[in-house]
Amino acid sequence: MRVKNLAELEKILAKKQVLQRNTQPKNQDNTPPPPQLRIIGLDVALRCTGWGIIDTKSEGTVQIPVDCGVIKTDQKAPVSECLRRLAGGVRELIELYKPDVAAIEGGFYCQNVRTAVILGAARGAVIATLAEKAIPTHEYAPRKVKQAICGLGNASKQQVALLVSQMLHIQTDALALDSTDALAMALTHAQLLSAAQGFGVPDPI
């Protein structure tokens, strides 16, 4: 059809706009989509730190695996180099995956003073990097994580990995146990968020 003047063109465009509005899908209940939270779990150690990331929806009741792995440093590297690589690795993970919150393993009793000092230094490097990126960080005792995932405070790493596999519907046979421990920490935080509207979630450190 040939448009003879501007008035006719405006009428045609107006009809098309009405048609487009009428054919667009409508949100039946006008409810917003459930919020999504991305959680990074970190099983901190000096030379091999496990990390795992999940997305949680519907206030923690639905967990979706995103990725996991380890940050490793050569056994012969000095402590300062290990700390540098650890902080740099966590910083890269934050920039790549943009987590909203972090869950890390809380301190535990060590008979060896040197081991306790080294672990404290590694935790300090990780916590400082998370704080630098304004990521709220919650810590969970190893026993609490095992109880949340397995129902047993003395569960083995293999048992934790098996339950993580079932909860997230992923194969964990080829994954490092440090990374499945990190996923377990993220899952623990998600579970506590879904329980009694977050009652029991520890304050950020």
Reduced to 3 states (helix: H, G, I; strand: E, B; else coil), residue 69 is strand
Alpha carbons 170 and 191: distance in angstroms, whole number? 18
Position 3 scores a pLDDT of 45
100 has catalytic annotation? no
Q: Which domains does the chain have, with CATH numbers?
A: 43-198 (3.30.420.10)
pLDDT tens figures, 16-37? 454 444 444 444 555 555 568 9
Q: Which of 55, 139, 178, 181 is catalytic?
A: 178
Q: Which of 55, 105, 139, 181 is catalytic?
A: 105
Position 23 scores a pLDDT of 42
Q: Which of 43, 55, 139, 181 is catalytic?
A: 43
Closest by CA position to 148, among listed 183, 176, 178: 183
43 has catalytic annotation? yes
pTM of the model: 0.81
pLDDT tens figures, 103-137? 999 866 677 888 889 999 999 999 999 999 999 99
- Tens-digit pLDDT string for the chain (205 aa): 444 555 665 565 555 454 444 444 444 555 555 568 999 999 999 999 999 999 998 565 789 999 999 999 999 999 999 999 999 999 999 999 999 999 999 866 677 888 889 999 999 999 999 999 999 999 999 999 999 999 988 999 999 999 999 999 999 999 999 999 999 999 999 999 887 566 678 888 8
Q: Is 130 exposed, middle or buried (0-12, 13-18, 19+ CB in 10 A)?
A: buried
Position 109 scores a pLDDT of 65
178 has catalytic annotation? yes
